[in-house]
Structures are given as C-alpha cells and as structure tokens.
Amino acid sequence: MERLAIHGGPPVRTKPWVSKYMGSEELGAEEKSRVLKVLEKKRIFRYLPDGLETSEARALEEEYKAFLGTKFALAVNSGTSALICALIAAGVGPGHEVIIPAYTWVATAAAVAIVGAVPVLAEVDSSLTLDPRDFAAKITSRTKAVIVVHMRGIAADMDPILEIAQKHGLMVIEDVAQANGGTYKGRLLGSLGHVGCFSLQQSKVIASGEGGMLVTNSEELWQRAVLYHDGAGYQFRFTERKIPAFPGQNYRLTELQAALCLGQLEKMPAILRTTRENKRKLVERLGAQGKIELSPVFGTERDLGVSLIFYVSSEEKARQTAQALTAEGIPAFQVYDRQARDQHIYINWEFLLAKRDPWGGNFPWSLAPEREIEYSEETCPFTLDLLSRAVQIHLNHLVRDEDLRDIEAAVGKVAFHLL
Ligand SMILES: Cc1ncc(COP(=O)(O)O)c(C=O)c1O
C-alpha cells in the first residue's frame, strides 16, 4: 500500500471533487424560459386581485400536491418559515414543549423557540435520525408536538414514531428540508405526519435559492398556515376563510422563485435515481472492506444517497480520517468537530444553551421555571459521541462510477494506515 498523501505519498485523486449542489447544477434553458415568462407577464406578486390562475407559486403548490398526494400545499419563502407556519398551524405556542432531534439544522430549534415553545432534545440513533425510544422517553404532559427530521437524506423511522405520537396525542411535523423526494416504506416523506415542511435553499435536492413548501391533508391546518404566512390573508380573497383571524407574517414566496423551481420538480426523480444507486453501490463496496461502520439503514430505501457518512472507533480517528481523505483528494470532514461550531449539532446552538430570547431574557423557558431543562454535553451524549466518530463526504447526482471507485480506494488506503 502506498504512503498516505498526508504523509507525502501520491494522492488517490488529483481531479477536483464534484460540486455539492444538486438541482441548482441542472438549471438551464427550461428555468430560464420560465423565469423570463414571469417578466413578460409582469406578474411578480402571487396574490394579484385578478385571480390565482396564472400564479407560478400556485402552480408550484399544485405540483407539490400532485407529487406528494396531499390535499393542501403552501409555498413560503424558506424552510424556516415553513416550520414556523407548521408549528403555528399545529397550535404550538407558549406553555408547550416540542421534541426535536439533537442533530438537525439550528432552524428546527429556533422555529420552536420563535413560536414561544420550549425545544426538548432527543437523541438520534446510528441512522442519524430521531431515536424512537428516546423520543418516547422525553414526552411530558407539556409535549404538544414532535418535529421529525429526515436528516442527510435519511428517512426517520416513521412507524414507531407515528405510533408513539398517536398514543400521546402529539402533532407530528416532518422536516423534509434535507430529504425532498425521499420515501419510507413506499410513502413520500412529508405526507406521513400532520404537516410536512420543505426547504428550497440552494444546497437542497431542488432549489430556488431561497424558498420552502408546507404540505398537509388538513384544511384547518392549511388555513392557519396560510394566514400566518401572510397576515394580509390575501388567499382568502379567493377561498372562504373558515378559521378565526389572528396576526400573521409575510413569508410569501415570490413568483420568480416559484417559476425557477417548477422545472426542477420534473428533474428530481432522475437526480435521485442516480444518488440512490450510487449510495447503494458505495455501501455495498465499503461494507465489504469491513474497516468502517455503517448504519443498516444506509443504502436502503430510507436513504436518498445525498451524503456518505460512516463511523470509526474514536473522535481522534475520525479527525485523522477526515484529514487523510481530504489529502487523498476526497473532501471529507468530521461531523462533530469541536472547533467547527457546525450549526447542525445542538451543542453549538448558543441561544439554546443560554436559553436566551431576542430581548435579553429567557422566554419561553421563563414561563415554567419549575421545569428544569438544561442543554449541555449531558443532554444527548449518545448523539455527540456518534457524530464525533462520524466522517462525512458530500455526494450528488454528478458522482460517476469512477468517483465512487476513488472514494473506495481512498477509504481503503486510509483505513489500512489509520484504522
Ligand atoms: C433540517 C433542516 N431544517 C430546516 C432548514 C431551514 O431551511 P431554510 O434554510 O430554507 O430556512 C434546513 C436548511 O438549511 C435544514 O437543513
């Protein structure tokens, strides 16, 4: 075996690694003509009084409904605003607790605090998604909802989660920001809980730069989300409002961004066929090497294949492995690197650890001082240990078999020397 590149040997790969983006890599003539059409129509606001028929945002909602098979959809301006609208729609507010996984983007936790509820952290398991047992253990009489995050393209284990939630009468919000187009036992993610939330930010499977989508089968939840996303309630010029009025925001999606996204939904199945097939091959080949640990869920139906994460025996080994792989020409990183302050890991959510609100106080934690909730290294030690031993490589649909072979060779070489 050659010397490691990090020790002066020849690297496995000298070609640059592929981009980490997916849908946005495929932007082309179709999106250009769709965006130009908006400019030609001069309709750049979705709720013009003359009707919704020619609105691109409405068309995007129709496409999402058809794709997911849900009765209602609402286009919004980000995944964060989709989560906030979902929580408001679900009736979550001051006095409530919402269970979220300890590994998710910071927006999941922020959305809960923003609506005045307390985020309660639960461990993830080796699938990188909510551990159903810890979810059950974290339920109290104050728990109103759970946000299930399909993290890194991996579907959470929805059957036990839905069963536990139903038993306790909890609302289930799916955060599908990182797994658009994913499935669980043949059912599309986002359509399994009470509300599904998507992000269309650039690093997602399909993207409009910024944007989001909320889906549900409940008319009441949809109406509440619609009113919260647009305090003006313009939708109710065209649809009978069946809910009492309350104040809302402006989280409306622009027509230009909606048009940009429309063509991408059609391209999504082809993108995901490639990422899934790549991941299946990688898991099979790396698993055969026997030097690294993979979750049994990786490479299965539950995995979209948009990233490769594997586990090694210690934090130190993960740091060395990531550095050595990067030197071999495969950019890799340790998922929980203490220096990196990655906002996907709860220990780096500064506001949460300090229980701080935007006004210098401790709302909403201050509402229930008798309920002692602490956020520290002891809150979710399994997650921190797992992520500190995890090494990640970005994958997308541009990865070819020769790139997979480079990953395989680099992991094999690094494992031979270091693991
Ligand atoms: C798991 C998760 N939830 C929520 C969000 C928030 O989405 P956005 O960036 O569109 O607000 C993201 C995106 O970064 C995410 O990865």
| Ligand 1 atom with least separation from CA of 212 | 10
Class (C level, CATH) for 29-263: alpha beta
| Ligand 1 atom with least separation from CA of 149 | 1
Task: Please compute Rg for the chain using Cα positions.
Answer: 22
Q: List, in sequence order, every residue forming a beta bridge with 391; answer none if it has no partner.
A: 310, 334
For residue 45, what is the DSSP state?
S
Name the amino acid, one letter, at 165. Answer: A
pLDDT, one tens digit per residue, over 187-213 is 999 999 999 999 999 999 999 999 999
CB distance 103 to ligand 1 below 6 Å: no
Quote the pLDDT of residue 362. Answer: 97
| Among candidate residues 370, 384, 328, 354, the one with its CA nearest the CA of residue 101 | 384
Angle at 102 between CA 366 and CA 194, to 5 degrees: 85
Q: In whole angstroms, what is the distance from residue 138 CA to residue 231 CA?
A: 34
Residue 387's SS3 state is: helix
CB distance 178 to ligand 1 below 6 Å: yes
Mutate which of 105, 197, 205, 214 for ligand 1? The one with the most ligand atoms within 8 Å of its CB, which is 105
C-alpha 272 to ligand 1 mean position (Å): 19
CB distance 199 to ligand 1 below 6 Å: yes
Q: List, in sequence order, every residue forming a beta bridge with 124; answer none if it has no partner.
A: 130
C-alpha 83 to ligand 1 mean position (Å): 9
Q: What is the DSSP string of 280-337?
A: HHHHHHHHHH-SSB--TTTTSTTB--SEEEEE-S-HHHHHHHHHHHHHTT---EESS-
pLDDT, one tens digit per residue, over 241-258 is 999 999 999 999 999 999
Quote the pLDDT of residue 209. Answer: 94
CB distance 180 to ligand 1 below 6 Å: no
Determine how β-strand 118-122 pairs with β-strand 97-101: parallel
Residues noted as catalytic:
204
CB 126 within 8 A of CB 107: no
CB distance 177 to ligand 1 below 6 Å: yes
Query: Where do we find the tokens 């979220």?
Result: 100
Quote the pLDDT of residue 263. Answer: 83
Quote the pLDDT of residue 397. Answer: 97
Quote the pLDDT of residue 163. Answer: 98
Query: Where do we find the tokens 């509300």?
Result: 195
CB distance 132 to ligand 1 below 6 Å: no
CB distance 149 to ligand 1 below 6 Å: yes
Residue 55's SS3 state is: coil
- C-alpha atoms less than 13 angstroms from C-alpha of 327 in its C-beta half-sphere: 16
Q: In this structure, what are the phi and psi dihedrals at residue 91, rounded to the nearest 5 degrees?
A: 80, 15
Q: In whole angstroms, what is the distance from residue 6 CA to residue 35 CA?
A: 47
CA 44, 50, 56, 58 dihedral sign is positive
Angle at 58 between CA 55 and CA 59, to 5 degrees: 85
C-alpha 39 to ligand 1 mean position (Å): 29
User: pLDDT below 70 — which residues of the chain?
Assistant: none
Per-residue burial over 18-49, b = 16 or more CB atoms within 10 Å of its CB, e = otherwise: bebbbbbebbeeebeebbeebeeeeeeebbee
C-alpha 78 to ligand 1 mean position (Å): 8
Mutate which of 201, 213, 306, 342 for ligand 1? The one with the most ligand atoms within 8 Å of its CB, which is 201
